[in-house]
Structure 1
């Protein structure tokens, strides 16, 4: 048989540390269990529960803190004025001002930024192409005007595809028409 002395263990150095740890854990648990829980509705009618006050500053503590702490945050059905059932919200949830953005919101923003950057790059390229085309057009008009003012034997093609030499009056008319185009299109 064992004696009473062998069944009772002597107090070791680890036992006070274990008791201290249990006491501190109990205090921490008790303080977190009594933390205040806030509840509020956002603009879309969703009910939120949090230990942080709402972002709009409406500090309204929840009535049943322990039960509300574990209640799912589901939107309450809103009755429309016509009496019909409420339509489901198809928009992505708006980011709350009190917390960080979710990965879905960050991903959506990144995709939107990439699309906007691609659109801006395409627009910039299109404008650069237009500017190059206008530059070539204006250079061609200036070269034609120089050739017409210089005179000499200048030909053009008629509707039948035959080459026709321009006389001095026709050269002046073509030069004037080219000057008008230059002043209108190439400022």
Structure 2
């Protein structure tokens, strides 16, 4: 059962990584859009007349789509000065407790997000820009990112709970605990190795 949960988490992590990749290129496109609008306005006297609205949607969607990957990589900000100093038998259940609180927050946010999409669809809401973008498009993309974040919290809770029940608190700590110096060093070494492989090809 734990092996199945681990495989499920790895699959969810792969999907989250792809979503984060899309979010990253979304920011590149956002920067190019802003740059193009500035050049067009100052050099050619033309503007999209919707830069503020469109880039605002892109930023919001990019953040939402990267949340699941951030959680999977344990790259989110945590204030756990006391927890890291506790013995493992106390630390492990506290990880699950904090994740449960995060699940509650993510579930509420996802519910509100989809309620907003439903309301915009009901009233056929459009923005005030010259493009008159239907609000269900940016709001729907944003809600998808929040939902993926909720799904990742649930997958982590499943694996973490099984690890605790099966007497493997070490795996739970590796899964949900804060990143250590060793984790940072291993990631840096992997990045260097990838850079070397890229330079030799």
Q: Which has the higher contact order (CA 8 A, sep 6+)?
A: 2
On whether the aligned pair clears a TM of 0.5, the verdict is no
Structure with greater proportional strand content: 1
Give the TM-score of the pair, scaled to structure 2: 0.27
Structure with greater proportional helix content: 2
Radius of gyration: which is bigger? 1
Give the TM-score of the pair, scaled to structure 1: 0.28
